[in-house]
């Protein structure tokens, strides 16, 4: 079950300690540890890092993901790639076709993520179009394993998709949608690594249907959703008067992706079970006195309610972490992010309202509730960045 989210896009309705939700002990947020010391959330990189998540497998998933975070933050902070306007581009560019490509991306975003689309209309034209292009690429990637042709997708097909990704980053787009993203990554300091990591998440969906613990699940959530936050921050932009570190903003973007994917997982427990998939930590199920068979049988028991309370608590902790960074974004980019965050949190409320029956009832936020959330999101988007110089 892959999630397509843009920091964070609403899809259509179609830190490191222990993580235990068994019994009365709730799961904890990861906190990064290195050399026996706990890292705070505000940490400047102390040297070069590896972009690969494959090396040093004894490290926790969050440590490995954080290496990617600080690399992405460095691209923005150091401005290694300059933001080019249309007047900076070569005369050979066919602006008519490129504009049409972006418009097509906007149409897809409007169709499948209406609430988020409305929020993007407040952004500058350049940022708005770039966000649309990222959304479409993520949606197309997700559709490879969750769409109508998912049963025909093979690892080789994903390898070809990654080759297309490399080509578009090198200025050789395959089709109109690729052309829009290719133009976007040429203008903004967007790195290819999060895009490659999302494809890796799709590979996991082809071969893995169980996650032994939250460390494994965290990495999966990063691949399929947290990556999109890292893709989008360079386009959304950071407020000129922000006092926090760039890494802090990226951590919030990552946390929002993790929170949304955890929410997807909790919402879709029954749907995934009917496909033979269980995206809940196996060790935490066992600690709660539950098994995969309990999930396949789909009975809401006191044990299940207790277990779900812990899982929902953890998702809300990630949402809380994400909220810290939204006010640090460029003012014109905040509204769609706040709207997405507020509305997605309400899915957790809906699970509770359904008495934790996510086997047979799909928790959702109705259209009226979504639109009622927009004024509140807009009001929050007007808040200035924190004055305290960041958070630890």
pLDDT in tens, 223-275: 999 999 999 999 999 998 999 999 999 999 999 999 999 999 999 999 999 99
Determine, yes or no, domain membership for 72: yes
pLDDT in tens, 264-317: 999 999 999 999 999 999 999 999 999 999 999 999 999 999 999 999 999 999
* Candidate from 94-103, 157-166, 173-182, 320-329 with smallest mean pLDDT: 94-103
CATH number of the structural domain spanning residue 348 = 1.10.600.10
**pLDDT of 66:** 81
Q: How many folded domains does the chain comprise?
A: 1
Rounded to whole angstroms, the Cα distance separating 71 from 333 reads 22
Show the domain range for 343.
67-80+93-382
pLDDT in tens, 30-76: 433 333 333 333 333 333 333 445 444 567 888 888 888 888 888 77
Q: Kindly state the tokens that stand for 182.
A: 């290719």
**pLDDT of 95:** 57
- C-beta separation of 145 from 4 below 8 A: no
Give me the numbers of helices (H) and strands (E) for the chain, helices first please: 16, 2
pLDDT in tens, 319-371: 999 999 999 999 989 999 999 899 999 999 999 999 999 999 999 999 889 88
pTM for the structure as a whole: 0.81
Determine, yes or no, domain membership for 392: no
Give residue 152's pLDDT band: very low, low, confident or very high (50, 70, 90): confident
Determine, yes or no, domain membership for 60: no
Determine, yes or no, domain membership for 297: yes
> What count of Cα atoms within 13 Å lies in the side-chain half-sphere of residue 83?
13
Determine, yes or no, domain membership for 38: no
Determine, yes or no, domain membership for 152: yes
Collapsing DSSP to helix, strand or coil, 211 comes out as: strand
């Amino acid at each position: 079950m892959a999630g397509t989210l843009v920091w964070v896009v609403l899809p259509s309705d179609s830190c490191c300690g222990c993580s235990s939700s068994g019994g009365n002990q709730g799961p904890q947020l990861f906190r990064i540890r290195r050399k026996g010391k706990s890292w705070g959330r505000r940490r400047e990189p102390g040297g070069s890092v590896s972009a690969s998540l494959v090396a040093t497998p004894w490290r926790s998933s969050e440590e490995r993901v954080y290496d990617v975070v600080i690399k992405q933050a460095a691209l923005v902070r150091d401005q290694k790639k300059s933001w080019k306007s249309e007047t900076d581009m070569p005369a050979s560019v066919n602006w008519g076709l490129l504009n049409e490509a972006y418009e097509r991306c906007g149409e897809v975003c409007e169709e499948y993520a209406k609430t988020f689309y409305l929020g993007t209309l407040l952004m500058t034209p350049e940022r708005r179009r770039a966000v649309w292009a990222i959304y479409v690429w993520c949606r197309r990637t997700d559709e490879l394993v969750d769409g109508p042709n998912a049963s025909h997708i093979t690892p080789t097909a994903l390898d070809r998709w990654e080759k297309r990704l490399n080509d578009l980053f090198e200025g050789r787009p395959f089709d109109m949608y690729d052309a829009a993203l290719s133009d976007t990554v040429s203008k903004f300091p967007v790195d290819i690594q999060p895009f490659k990591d999302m494809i890796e998440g799709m590979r996991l969906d082809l071969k893995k249907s169980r996650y032994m613990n939250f460390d494994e699940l965290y990495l999966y959530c990063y691949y399929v959703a947290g990556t999109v936050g890292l893709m989008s921050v360079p386009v959304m932009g950071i407020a000129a008067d922000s006092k926090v570190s760039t890494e802090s903003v990226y951590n919030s973007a990552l946390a929002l992706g993790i929170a949304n994917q955890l929410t997807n997982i909790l919402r879709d427990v029954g749907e995934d079970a009917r496909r033979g998939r269980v995206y809940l930590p196996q060790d935490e199920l066992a600690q709660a006195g539950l098994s995969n068979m309990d999930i396949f049988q789909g009975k809401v028991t006191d044990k299940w309610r207790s277990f779900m309370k812990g899982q929902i608590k953890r998702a809300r902790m990630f949402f809380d972490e994400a909220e810290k960074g939204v006010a640090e974004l460029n003012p014109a980019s905040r509204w769609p992010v706040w709207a997405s965050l507020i509305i997605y949190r309400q899915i957790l409320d809906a699970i509770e309202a359904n008495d934790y029956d996510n086997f047979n009832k799909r928790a959702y936020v109705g259209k009226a509730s979504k639109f009622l959330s927009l004024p509140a999101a807009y009001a929050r988007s007007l808040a200035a960045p924190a004055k305290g110089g960041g958070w630890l």
